[in-house]
Amino acid sequence: MTETISVELRGSTAPITPLQRAAFWLTGLTGWRRHLAAFLFGALAAVSLPPLDVTPVLLISFPALIWLTDGNTGFRSAFFLGWNFGFGFFIAGLYWIAAALFVDIGQFWWLVPFAVMGFPAVLGIFTGLALLANYATCRWLVLGGTPRILSFVLFWATAEWLRGHVLTGFPWNLVGYAWSGAFPGALAMLQTVSLVGIYGLSLITVMAATLPARLGDFSGRRWLAVIAAAVLIAIPSAWGTYRLSQGHPADVAGVTLRLVQPSIPETLKNDPAQTLANFRRLFALSTSPGGDKVSAILWPEDAAPPFLERDGSARTALADAVPADGYIIAGTARTDALPAAPTHVWNSLAAIDHAGVLRATYDKFHLVPFGEYVPLREILPMQKITPGSIDFSVGPGPRTITLPGLPAFSPLICYEVIFPDAVTDPLHRPAWLLNITNDAWYGITSGPFQHLAIARTRAVEEGLPLARAANNGISAMFDPYGRVTARLDLDAVGVLDVALPEALAAPLYTRLGDTSFLIALLLIVAGLILQRRITGALSHRV
C-alpha cells in the first residue's frame, strides 16, 4: 500500500518510496535515538574494511548519515552526530589495538578502556569537526540536494587527510581501504591509487556511497545522483581492469627472496628462557632446503639479536645462515656505536652478509605513540608498552638501501607502511619495498589483515613490488599492481621463496603525491561557490 504526504510537509503528494520513508524517519530522530543510530551506522561502515570486506555496506551507512545530518538543529547537534558516527566506526575498526595490552595485562590492564574507547573517542573528533564544518557551510551557502552531499564529501575527505597528518598522523582505516581486500573486483578499483593515492580513492568512494542519499529526497532529479555514483565506480574499475590486464611485470633476473615467518608468540619473544629456542627456529627456517640459493633471507621486525653493531658473536651466528653472496635482512634493536655509551635505542633493520659483516642499517622514523615511546613523558608517568625502559629514538626518514647483487630497496618497519607518500626517498627511487613487522601483538584479530591490506595499497601507489616478512603473519609478496604472488597465512610457520617482480615506471601519484587529491578538494569548493552564486542570481531575478 502506498501513502501520500501533504503539500505543506513536503511540497508533493506523490507516493513515497521506502527510501524516502527511511530518510524521513532518520531525519526526524531526536535525542539518544539519533546518536545511537549514528554510532551503529558508523560501526556498520567498518564492516567494509578487511578482513570482512563487505564494501557495499557503505551504500547503507553513508546515506543514513546524510539523512541524520539533515536533522541537525545546530552546531552542537552536528558535531556530536559526526562524533558518534566516527566513534562507532573506530571502535569497530580498531578494537584490536587493545589486544597488545594483553601480552602484559598485569601491568597495562588500566589502559584497556583507553585503547578500546578512548582512542576511538579522540579520532571521532575528526568526524565531528567534519560534520560541524559541513553544517556551517550548508547554512552559509544555503545548500540542499546534491550540493549538500558534495559539501559533506569535501569535509569528510579533508578530515581523513588531517587524521593522517596531525600529531604524527594515524591514516589507518581510511574509507578507501574498502577496496584493499577481497571484495570481488576490488583490486581493479584499487588501481586508482596509482593516480590519486588512498586519500583520493577515499574521496571517490565516499562520494559514490553518499550520492544515493538523494533517493531519499522529495524533489530534484534524484536519479542523476545515482547515475553519477555508478559512474564514479564504473569508470575507475574499468580502467583498473584494463591496467591489470596489460600489466604482467617480469621477474628480476637472478633474485630470489626468502620470507621467514616463525610465528613466535609475543609472550615468548622477550622471554630470556626462550631466546635460544626462538633463534633456532629462525635459523632452521632460514637454512631449510633451498636457502642456499636465495639472494636475501628476510626476517621480521625485532627477530635478530639486539645491538649487532656491538656483538660480533651474534653476527657470526647469523652469518652461518646466510647464503654465499647473499644477506640476512632482519629487524633488530640498535644503539650508539662504540665507544659511546648506549644511551639511545632505535628500532632498526640490519643487513648481514655471509662473512658476518654489518653491511647496512636503517632506523625506524615513524614510531608508535605509547608503543615505542611515551608522548609528553615529563607529564605522563608510564612506561611504553614494548619491553625496555628507554624510549626508542627517531630515525632520519625514508632511505633507499643498495647492496651488491640486490636491487635497491626502501625498508619500512611495521607501522611505517601506513603513511602514503612517505615510504620512499623521493630523490632515490628504489626498485622494491620491504615491510618487516611483528603483528603477534594483536593475535587473531582484524589488525594483521588490515595491516596487510594497507601494505598492498602502498605497492600500487608507488608502482613497486612489496615483500612483507611478518613474525606471525601475514607474510606476502605483492607485485606493483597489488597482486599477491605468494602468501603465508596468519600464525602459519614457514618460508616463502619468491621471485622479485620488476618495478613500474613511477605512477602519477608517486610524482604528484597528494597534490591531485588537494586539487579535487579545491574543485569541489569552487563548484559549491559557483552553485551558490548561480542560485543567488536566479533568486534575485525572481
Residue ranges, comma separated, of all CATH 3.60.110.10 domains in the chain are 251-506
Least confident of 136-150, 199-213, 372-386, 453-467: 372-386
**Which residues, 6+ apart, have CB-to-CB distance to 413 below 8 Å?**
301, 331, 347, 348, 349, 362, 364, 435, 436, 437
pLDDT band for position 13 (50/70/90)?
low
**Which cell goes with 8?**
505543506
- What pLDDT does residue 539 have? 46
Summarize the chain as % helix, strand, coil (round to 5).
50, 15, 35
- DSSP-assigned letters across all residues of 177-211: GGGSSSSTTHHHHHTTHHHHHHHHHHHHHHHHHHG
Mean of the pLDDT values across residues 52-75? 97
**Which cell goes with 20?**
524516502
Mean of the pLDDT values across residues 89-113? 92
Distance CA 297, CA 323 (A): 8
pLDDT band for position 535 (50/70/90)?
low
Catalytic residues: 301, 364, 414
Q: Is pLDDT larger for residue 274 or for residue 383?
A: 274
Amino acid (1-letter code) at residue 222:
R
Distance CA 321, CA 154 (A): 53
Quote the percentage of the chain above a pLDDT of 90.
81
SS3 305: coil
- What pLDDT does residue 38 have? 98
Mean of the pLDDT values across residues 274-300? 94
- What pLDDT does residue 536 have? 58
To the question of pTM greater than 0.75 for the whole model, the response is yes
Mean of the pLDDT values across residues 225-233? 96
Question: Which residue intervals of 287-433 are DSSP H helices?
Answer: 312-319
**What's the farthest any 2 CA atoms get from each other in the chain?**
87
- What pLDDT does residue 6 have? 36
What order do you get walking across the sheet with 327-335 strand by strand? Answer: 358-363, 345-353, 327-335, 296-298, 251-261, 494-501
Mean of the pLDDT values across residues 298-323? 93
pLDDT band for position 395 (50/70/90)?
very high
CB–CB of 150/206 below 8 Å? no
Q: 161-182: b or e for each residue (b if 16 or more CB lie within 10 Å)?
A: bebbeeeebbbbbbbbbbbbbe
198 vs 282, 446, 508, CA distance in Å? Answer: 35, 20, 13
- What pLDDT does residue 353 have? 96
pLDDT band for position 370 (50/70/90)?
confident
- What pLDDT does residue 384 have? 79
Amino acid (1-letter code) at residue 241:
T
Least confident of 5-9, 206-210, 478-482: 5-9
Q: Is pLDDT larger for residue 106 or for residue 98?
A: 98
Please determine, for residue 273, whether its predicted confidence score (pLDDT) is greater than 50.
Answer: yes
Counting Cβ atoms within 10 Å, is residue 529 exposed (0-12), middle (13-18) or buried (19+)? Answer: exposed
β-bridge partners, 486: 477
Mean of the pLDDT values across residues 38-67? 98
Distance CA 398, CA 424 (A): 5
| CATH of the structural domain 251-506, one choice from 1.10.3210.10, 3.20.20.100, 3.50.50.60, 3.60.110.10 | 3.60.110.10
Please determine, for residue 368, whether its predicted confidence score (pLDDT) is greater than 50.
Answer: yes
Q: Is pLDDT larger for residue 268 or for residue 193?
A: 193
The kind and range of the H/E element at 145 are helix 145-163
Q: How far from the centroid of its chain's Cα atoms is residue 483's Cα?
A: 17
Least confident of 14-23, 131-140, 246-255: 14-23
Mean of the pLDDT values across residues 193-199? 98
Please determine, for residue 4, whether its predicted confidence score (pLDDT) is greater than 60.
Answer: no
Mean of the pLDDT values across residues 116-127? 97
For helices 193-210 and 58-69, the axis angle rounded to 10 degrees is 60
Distance CA 379, CA 32 (A): 36
In this structure, what DSSP letter does residue 392 have? Answer: B
Distance CA 54, CA 49 (A): 7
- What pLDDT does residue 122 have? 97
**Which cell goes with 133?**
564544518
Q: Is pLDDT larger for residue 387 or for residue 65?
A: 65
Distance CA 439, CA 433 (A): 18
Please determine, for residue 10, whether its predicted confidence score (pLDDT) is greater than 50.
Answer: no
SS3 316: helix
Distance CA 505, CA 350 (A): 28
Q: What is the mean pLDDT of the chain?
A: 92
Mean of the pLDDT values across residues 501-529? 94
- What pLDDT does residue 537 have? 52
